[in-house]
Amino acid sequence: MITGQNLIAGQWSAQGKETFSSINPRTKEQSEGWFVNATSEEVDLAVTRAAEAFKTTRLYSAERLAAFLDTVADEIEKLGAVLIETADAETGLGKPRLEGERGRTTGQMRLFGKLLREGSYVEAIIDTAQQDRKPAPRPSIRRMLVPLGPVGVFGAGNFPLAFSVAGGDTASAFAAGCPVIVKAHPGHPGTSELVARAIRAAVEQCDFPLGFFSMLQGSTTEVGQALVAHPLLEAVGFTGSLAGGRALFDAAAGRPRPIPVFAEMGSVNPVVITPNAVKARGEAIAEGLATAVTLGSGQFCTNPGLIFVFDDPESQSLIAQVGELMDRRRPGVLLNQATQDHLFKTVGETLEHPSVSKRTLVDDINAGGYCYPNTVLQTTSEAFIADESLQREHFGPVTLFVVCSSFDALCQAIDALKGNLTATVHAEADDLDMAGNLFSLLREKAGRLIWNGYPTGVEVVHAMQHGGPYPATTAPQTTSVGLTAVKRFMRPVAFQNIPDALLPDALKDANPLTIWRIVDDELTRKPIST
């Protein structure tokens, strides 16, 4: 039942002449169906209808938005096995992984619904009037968050469900009350259409304006650039490469009226391992690292791509162990030809560095599909500090050990780091002073700090921070995972001396929503006595 068309405000559309197809990464075979690239006219219509829908949905109650999110989750689940089978054929990620990802996708929709029903996400702050204040009276000032408007969301290649058409960016934008126009990833267009059908069904069931959701197919950059350039678009959510995210960021900044781009673009996720940790549990750490680096063929933005150790016999043994474990593991399937080509290019260039050596032996992968051998590289802290190219993200089953001659050398290497999503320290109880110093340095380089763990695996909870300093993201003060992600697509508005009858419910004296508010410096759910 896949049409290969674009979904424009509830209607299927195929005005364009350029087409493309998906590729099975296990076999490199082209799918039977063809998908039509959206035209500039279709992009314009999608955003225009979204802007029209926003005139209505911007005033929808939290309960109405929450019911819609729940319905989207229900409709995705109704797709059943066909969704998993289609996603597996287009990405090669495996049915167990994709079933888990579907659960995360529907789960985060429902979690945002729960957030809306609680209501405090609008961050209501009230400073009541003080008529008797000298030398001048203080006016009544009340502040809350309101939705931004139409949001363009770019699907990620490595998460065809959880970071795609109905992924975290879409869920958080919907929760904010914003219409969404999704630019589907060309690596899994069939999966994208199926999920778009589910959202369309939810829009109709909940009697939302049809322009509240659209999906654009496209294998070229022109579709995405046209979306970002549209004058009625208010924000962009993106997960992908540094080059892609930066291109969108620059395009949005270059508009006559710039808009924010919340782009997650890549990370090497440094891991520091102290000598005591190596001595106490070196084998377990080696096993954990090998598993984390090869999980999903290394195609995670949280893949531990940099490992810092000290120059001692135990750490050299750890590197050898990780190399042996990686050699024993069968390389997994990569998403597509571009991912494979990128790995061969970037790893090849890294190995050209005179201070970089390879610690794995397997080169011949003998695979019929897209693949790359599990790879362990090694360099020195001096080389790492001197050459920032050694911080490049390889995006695959590859990690680079950086051997440090001293603690000072390690600190200098950390100081040379660019921004990352995560940073990890493996240490023992006797290392607390050292670990404290390391975390103090790493805090300036990453959005999530981890103790004796591995960065892969991101929980969808209130406290999660999935973001970090550039180039990990373009907006390090925000997160793309977790319930505070909704705030990316909202903006604060202050109401000064506005009559109570004209205020939003969240700011009225009686607090009819019974939400938590800050009233005259006190966090309370009580109404304001008049």
Residues annotated as catalytic are: 264, 301
Cβ contact 474:265 at 8 Å = yes
* Euclidean distance between CA atoms 353 and 344, whole angstroms: 15
* Euclidean distance between CA atoms 302 and 421, whole angstroms: 7
* Euclidean distance between CA atoms 340 and 287, whole angstroms: 25
* Euclidean distance between CA atoms 305 and 472, whole angstroms: 13
In the three-class reduction of DSSP (H, G, I as helix; E, B as strand; rest coil), residue 312 is classed as coil
Q: How far, CA to CA in Å, does 356 sit from each of 384, 400, 509? A: 10, 9, 66
Beta pairing class for 270-273 and 306-310: parallel
Q: What are 190's strand-pairing partners?
A: none
Sequential DSSP letters for 54-66 = HHHHTT--HHHHH
Cβ contact 399:454 at 8 Å = no
Residue 344: left (phi > 0), alpha (psi -120 to 50), or beta? alpha
Q: What are 492's strand-pairing partners?
A: 145
Output the 3-class SS for 182-213: EECCCCCHHHHHHHHHHHHHHHHHCCCCHHHE
Helix (H) or strand (E) holding 494: strand 490-496
* Euclidean distance between CA atoms 27 and 511, whole angstroms: 60
Q: How far, CA to CA in Å, does 506 sit from each of 119, 120, 486, 499, 509? A: 8, 9, 17, 14, 9
Output the 3-class SS for 109-143: HHHHHHHHHHCHHHCCEEECCECCCCCCCECCEEE
Output the 3-class SS for 331-346: CCCCCCHHHHHHHHHH
Nearest Cα to Cα of residue 321 among 347, 358, 360, 357:
360
